[in-house]
Structure formats: C-alpha cells, structure tokens
Structure 1
Amino acid sequence: MSESAAARLQALFDGKRLTPTQRRIAHCMVRGAAEVPYLSSVELAELAGVSQPSVTRFAVALGFDGYPALRRHLRESTPASESTAPESEPNEYQQAVAGEIENLRRLADFLADPAPVERAGALLAASRPLPVLGLRAAASQAFGFSYFAAKVHPDVRLLDEGGTMLGDRLDAARRAGASTLLCFALPRHPREVVEALAYARSLGLTVVTVADSSFAPVAAHSDLLLPAAVGTGLAFDTACAPMLLGRVLLEAMADHIPGAESRLEEFDTQAAARGLFAD
C-alpha cells in the first residue's frame, strides 16, 4: 500500500469530532493502512484494543451505516496498483527502513501546504524566551532542536526533565516573556507531558506540538499540532520523521529572525578561531 493509502485514511478522519476511543481506532487504521480494508470489525477491534461495538460506533461517526460500509468504501477507493504484492518478502530490518520511508513520504505530503510550519516558525521566533519541552522518548528531539535553535535564537530553554520543577520552569519562562511553548511528544506519551501542556496553556502560552499523530493525547492541549509518524517495526520506535520535521521548523523559525544568517556566519568564524571541529 503506497503512502496515498494512509493519506486517504487521514483525510477521512480530518475534521471529525472523535472520542478518545475512536481516535485510538483511527490511529491504528492509519498505522496499518495496508491491511485495514481486509480486516473484520472483530479483527480491527482486537488490533486497536477496543470492543467490537466501538468499531461499529466509529464507522457511524464517520458517516457510514456501519463497519461493512466503511470497509467497502476503503476497498473501492484503493487503486488496483496498490494491492500488487512485492516479488520477495523483505526481512524485518528492511521493513523497518521501508516503514520510515513511508513516514517521510507522508511528512512530505503534509508539507505540501507550508502554511502550518510557517505559522509555527513565526510563533517560535517571536517567543523570547523559547521553552522547548520533550520528555522520555522525545527528549532527544527536544535537545537536538534546542542545540541548533540556540545558534539563531537569543534565548532557548530546554525542558527535558519532568517532576515538580517542570511547572516552575514554565512559570519562569512565562514571567520572562515567553509567548510560545514548543513540545515534542512521542509514544508512549508521559502523563506529565499532557498535564504540562494543559498548564502551559493556562499560563497563556501558545502550544506548538510535534507529535506522532493528530490523535495523540497531547492534541487536545495543542494550539498547533504538526504530525510526524514514528516507525514501529523494531522493538523500539524510530523517529526519523519527527527529527526531520524539527529541522524544518528550525528553518521556518530562522526565516523569521532578523540577522539569523549573520549569527550563523559569526559562529562559524568563532568555531574556526577556536579550533572546535576537526574537519
């Protein structure tokens, strides 16, 4: 199933008001877009970890008479070329790479409309300071963004540790003038991240979130959510698409910061003078 299958499913769900259980089913369907048109309601329920009646109610919420009608729609909308089986079955490592390529293609489709990322870049550039949140699996994404962002943004504050101090650091950032919080949220989603976003919005911060799905638990507490799927083919999730989306956000942010290019040139000059790098 090509990337268009997941895109068609996502388009089917966009704009619909779904319950948390229904968002879970939708997320499961997007992740398994190739198999979904051939699953029974019982099989889909087992895959999503919900009850069979929940699948039926989900189909009705999407405007279909029931799950059979939804499945029929999915089958009829699948081009014959997408059901062609590969000549040989790739091994699990190749499948993991192929899954990440698929995620990057979906990200490319999302970026066909640059408006959301450009809006996010403007919000991040205008926030002084700029707090960047990422806990557990998302900590490395937040760190990587913060490392590069500090080269062009005058005040980036990395929030990569949870606990009771997290609220204090959000308070401090807001008092210092922060207007936007950037959050990287990846599965499994820590409860304290969801709580931190809710608290940040109560402080008046605009929340921009990079998450693995539009149906992630953080969606309800995000003003602007930018989706980038993670790979699930290995024992531990892979996050090529979220990392790349973070770099795209850096580009968009730098475009809204006057003098960003001169700051990068100044850093390169200083790095050469100090002999920071071997190359």
Structure 2
Amino acid sequence: MGAETGTGGAVPGAGLPDAGAGDADPPGAGAPDSPAARLQALFEGHRLTPTQRRIAHSMVRRASDVPFLSSVELAELAGVSQPSVTRFAVALGFDGYPALRKHLREVAPAEQTAGSASYNEYQQAVEAEIENLRHLAELLADPRPVQRAGRLLAASRPLPVLGLRAAASQAYGFAYFAAKVHPDVRLLNEGGTMIQDRIDAAVRAGASALLCFALPRHPREVVDTLAYAREAGLSVVTVADSAFAPVAKVSDLLLPAAVGTGLAFDTACAPMLLGRVLLEAMCDDLPDAQGRLEEFDARAAARALFVD
C-alpha cells in the first residue's frame, strides 16, 4: 500500500460536526431509512475511542453488509482486533457483538447483491463505488445541507478552496469550474508555511467561507489549517469521506461522500460528484452565473479554444 492508500492509517473523528446556527439538519437526515443513516444515528451520543470510531467508520462504509459479518470479519474490515469489536458493541450498550448484530438485522436489514461473489476484484471495486453513489443519492434526499453550503460559498468573495495530497485533485476540479461562475476563487492545493498567509489574505479581501475537500489518509496539516481558518472567522464547509472523519471537529458544515477502498489506491467518485452538486447549488445562488457561462462560451468560440 502507498502513502495515500485506504483508511488503514486514518483515525475517524468524533462523530457528526456542529451544523452551525443555520436551519440545515445533519448530513443524512433526509434518508432516515437507509442502513448507513441508521448506523450513524446508532453511534451518535456515544463517546468512542479512536479504535471504536474506526470500527464505526468501517461499518458506515459497508452498511449493507454489516448485519451479516461476524466479529472476526468486522475486525478484519476495520483493521482492528476481534476483542476491540466486542468492546465497541459494549460501548454502544449491547451485551456483546452478537446482540449488536441481531439489532442491526432487525432495524437495518442488508440486501445482498445476487452474483456478487462471482465478481473479480476490479468488478468488486466498481460495485463498491456504485454503492457509494447510491448512499450519496440517499443523503441528497434532503437537499438543505447542500443548499446551505451553496449559499455560503456563493456569498464568499473571495472563495478559498482547500485540498491537500489525495484531495488536491478534487479541490482543483472544483476550483476550475467554480472560476467560470464565481468572480474570485482561490485554490489552496499546496501545503507549507504559506498556507495560513494565503488564508489571512483571503480574509482581508473579504472571504467569509472556505471549502475543503478532505480524503484519507487525512493530513494533520488539513486539520490544523481548518482550525486556523475558523479562528480567522471563516465558515468551513467540508466534503469528507465520512461524518466521522478527523476534520469533522473543525468544520461548520460537513458533507460526507464515501471513498472506495477495494483497490491499492482509494477511489473518489462520490466526493467528485458531490463537488459537482455543490457547484450546482452555488450557481443557484449566483444570479449572474448563467451570464458568466455564456460569456465564457462566446470567448472560447472566438478563440477556437475547443476542437469540438
């Protein structure tokens, strides 16, 4: 495994972030009947250790399969010991893991995909991403968190967009398209000692919000940068792989989109799509967005910028 792989080295954060003073519900509130949403509700209100949060994160990612996993299988999935799974179940108020699994089968029955056992590892990775997209669709059944995020991003002039290491490409993609409709987008995709200076400059220029893409493994620098941004007065909107990610505690509004972990390097189809959804929500709150797009198309045609 490379330095940017999977969640093996990532320690998920301490639960759902503070949604702030707005009227938006926590992510997932619009899909209360989904297995993942039920699992998140089960974990809320419990003080979990880093190892237990890691188990919770793994269960949310594989919500449809969890009711059929043994404690040993869940331990292997989360990369922890079997006794850790037992202690996790007790921490949630159950007599042990069998009682927890019985509860999960009663309240969040899994739907196993017929023929999935015959898939090769590449097909399984694709199927896992399809499941991540289905989960994202369930979360978007309540559009209010995304709409609130769109308002925050549209109102920020300038708009800093942060993404380091594995998340740098997500931030770049968002900033590339956002610059076509937003008057001042500032990409922060390289870490180092100057990143706080660039946040200070954005605040002096009038920024009110920052968008962050945070994917595993989560760099400590991202957590520190988001804490600094909040101290500077910015509202932090974060797209992360889980509501239990380490960045949750330093985000004002966290929007989860799971990554795929079936290959040597994580896949991030759901976070990318959620970024495009955020762009759409932001455009809805930029009255001149359509005019800017038409102006760009006219200039591109005049320059013969594209061959199609």
Q: TM-score, normalised by structure 2?
A: 0.83
Deviation for aligned residue 1:63: 3.5
Which secondary structure state, in structure 2, belongs to the residue aligned with residue 183 of structure 1? Answer: strand
Q: Structure 1 residues 78 and 110 mapped into 2: Cα distance closer, same or farther (>3 Å)? A: closer
Q: Which residue of 2 aligns with 1:28?
A: 58
| Paired letter, 1:136 | R
Q: Judge which range, 91-100 or 221-230, deviates more.
A: 91-100
Q: Which residue of 1 aligns with 2:205?
A: 176
The 2-side partners of 1:176 and 1:147 are apart by 20
Which secondary structure state, in structure 2, belongs to the residue aligned with residue 181 of structure 1? Answer: strand
In structure 2, runs of 5+ residues without a counterpart are 1-32
2:97 to 55, 67, 76: 67
Aligned length: 276
The 1-side partners of 2:81 and 2:128 are apart by 28
2:119 to 72, 78, 90: 90
1:203 counterpart = 2:261: no
Q: Judge which range, 66-75 or 130-139, deviates more.
A: 66-75
Deviations 1:17-75 (A, max 9, x none): 54433221101112233543344445534542445554344324433333222111112
1:236 to 265, 274, 296: 265
In structure 1, runs of 5+ residues without a counterpart are none
Q: Which residue of 1 aligns with 2:190?
A: 161
| Paired letter, 1:211 | A
The 2-side partners of 1:60 and 1:76 are apart by 18
Q: Judge which range, 169-178 or 245-254, deviates more.
A: 169-178
Asked if the contact 2:34–2:138 (Cα under 8 Å) also holds between the matched residues in 1, the reply is: no
1:256 counterpart = 2:264: no
Asked if the contact 2:157–2:207 (Cα under 8 Å) also holds between the matched residues in 1, the reply is: yes
1:189 to 203, 209, 218: 218
The 2-side partners of 1:44 and 1:120 are apart by 34
Q: Judge which range, 183-192 or 20-29, deviates more.
A: 20-29
Matches within 5 A, 1:44-193: 44-52=74-82, 54-79=84-109, 82-83=111-112, 85-86=114-115, 89-193=118-222
Give the structure, 1 or 2, with the largest relative contact order (CA under 8 Å, sep 6 or more): 2
Deviation for aligned residue 1:90: 1.0
Deviations 1:148-175 (A, max 9, x none): 1001111000000001111111111111
The 1-side partners of 2:68 and 2:42 are apart by 17
Asked if the contact 1:182–1:208 (Cα under 8 Å) also holds between the matched residues in 2, the reply is: yes
Deviation for aligned residue 1:125: 0.5
Which secondary structure state, in structure 1, belongs to the residue aligned with residue 118 of structure 2? Answer: coil
Q: Structure 1 residues 17 and 176 mapped into 2: Cα distance closer, same or farther (>3 Å)? A: farther
1:218 counterpart = 2:258: no
Asked if the contact 2:65–2:112 (Cα under 8 Å) also holds between the matched residues in 1, the reply is: no
| Paired letter, 1:151 | K
Asked if the contact 1:133–1:184 (Cα under 8 Å) also holds between the matched residues in 2, the reply is: yes
Asked if the contact 2:171–2:212 (Cα under 8 Å) also holds between the matched residues in 1, the reply is: yes
Q: Structure 1 residues 101 and 75 mapped into 2: Cα distance closer, same or farther (>3 Å)? A: same
RMSD: 2.1
Question: What's the % identity of the aligned pairs?
Answer: 81
Q: Which residue of 1 aligns with 2:40?
A: 10
Asked if the contact 1:7–1:106 (Cα under 8 Å) also holds between the matched residues in 2, the reply is: no
The 1-side partners of 2:197 and 2:220 are apart by 17
